[in-house]
Amino acid sequence: MSETADRVKKIVVEHLGVEAEKVTEDASFIDDLGADSLDIVELVMAFEEEFGVEIPDDAAEKITTVKDAIAYIDEHKG
Amino acid sequence: MFDLTGMTALVTGASGGIGSAIAKALAAQGTRLALSGSNLEKLEAFKAELGGDHVALPCNLSDGAAVDQLVPQAVQALGKLDILVNNAGVTRDNLAMRMKDDEWDQVIRVNLEAAFRLARAAAKPMMKARFGRIVSITSVVGQTGNPGQANYAASKAGLVGLSKALAQELASRGITVNCVAPGFIRSAMTDVLPDAQKQALLGKIPAGDLGTGEDIGAAVVYLASREAGYVTGQTLHVNGGMAMI
């Protein structure tokens, strides 16, 4: 597992208060992890802070699974 | 009660009649302020009068790009942002049939759109902090209407709807969003009314007098306080009983 994946999963566990085992790469934030739309906004803010990337709104809307987040961050972090 | 020591606030229209009274009331409870307004000279003069460790942040609220910078500037200057007071407002009165497009646009842009832009920006640091207070100054005419003020009444009613939607979106994060609706408040605008008109006006106010900026400042302090944490999506009418809604 990549370092990005570890850090993303840690943030998801902390923000959504879910068990780490549930945060698989295919997990959907809303359907599998019980997030609402405001949780997603907060997760995106947390990712931006943790990785120093900017995630514009149109990109953020496409991030629906843990895998999507990891891929976006790996592609855009400095 | 209502101690705001250690809190920070951004107040728009801070050098105006009601805005300066709101700023004074918040400062008196211990808030550190970012004072915004369009006229730097007036702002600096008011800041000097206020004393204390406040900052002046001039901004033209009809310029969307400038408005989007205001909250980040306030956060940078104050270190955090607990309270946003959308107070700034303009009037361009005219009968609706005679109202020019730019009279409509200007009022909606400053009174309503700027409030939305500022609230959108303020929600971010407030969500992170799990605490925030957004208070918008609407008006009794947003509820009752007023001939010659289609634009102004629409903008003020718009603030109420905006606040209710935001209140629902942000309640779970410790952020409350409310409005204060002044009635007729003693100001440079009401001072110049002819006596006959003033008497007619007072006849409609059960309290028998115009309100003051301090009356509005006290209402804002309450809604900004920790004690008002369970109050959200509401409009607090401060109008001497002239409209009971």
**Best mutation target, B68, B127, B166, to test chain A (most A CBs within 10 A):** B127
Domain limits of chain B?
Answer: 8-186+213-237
pLDDT band at B212 (very low <50, low <70, confident <90, very high): very high
Q: Find where tokens 């809303």 sit.
A: A30
- Consecutive H or E run containing A61: none
Q: Chain A residue with minimal CA distance to B171?
A: A38
**Predicted local confidence at residue B193, as pLDDT:** 81
Which tokens sit at B193? 């009314």
What integer is the mean pLDDT of B29-48? 96
For B8-186+213-237, the fitting CATH number among 3.40.50.970, 1.10.3720.10, 3.40.50.720, 3.30.750.200 is 3.40.50.720
B185 is in an annotated binding site: yes
Annotated catalytic sites of B, by residue? 152
Residues of chain B contacting residue A40, judged by C-beta atoms under 8 Å apart: none
Number of domains observed in the structure of chain A:
1
CB distance A42–B127 less than 8 Å? yes
What integer is the mean pLDDT of A52-73? 94
pLDDT band at B25 (very low <50, low <70, confident <90, very high): very high
Q: Is A38 an interface residue toward B (CB < 8 Å)? A: yes
- Where residue A41 sits, what CATH number does that domain have? 1.10.1200.10
Q: Chain B residue with minimal CA distance to A36?
A: B169
Name the nearest CA neighbour of B175 among B220, B217, B231: B231
**Predicted local confidence at residue B198, as pLDDT:** 86
pLDDT > 90 in chain B, percent: 93
Q: Is A20 an interface residue toward B (CB < 8 Å)? A: no
Q: Is B130 an interface residue toward A (CB < 8 Å)? A: no
pLDDT tens digits along B65-116: 999 999 999 999 999 999 999 999 999 999 999 999 999 999 999 999 999 9
How far is the alpha carbon of B171 from chain A, nearest alpha carbon, in Å?
11
pLDDT band at B187 (very low <50, low <70, confident <90, very high): confident
Q: Chain A residue with minimal CA distance to B170?
A: A38
CB distance B172–A45 less than 8 Å? no
pLDDT band at B58 (very low <50, low <70, confident <90, very high): very high
Per-residue burial over B114-147, b if 16 or more Cβ lie within 10 Å, else e, is bbbbbbebbbbbbbeeebbbbbbbbbbbbbeeee
What integer is the mean pLDDT of B115-134? 97
Q: Which domain holds residue A53?
A: 1-74
Query: Within a 13 Å sphere around the CA of B1, how many CA atoms are in the beta-carbon half?
Result: 5
**Predicted local confidence at residue A1, as pLDDT:** 57
Prediction ipTM score:
0.83
**Predicted local confidence at residue B55, as pLDDT:** 97
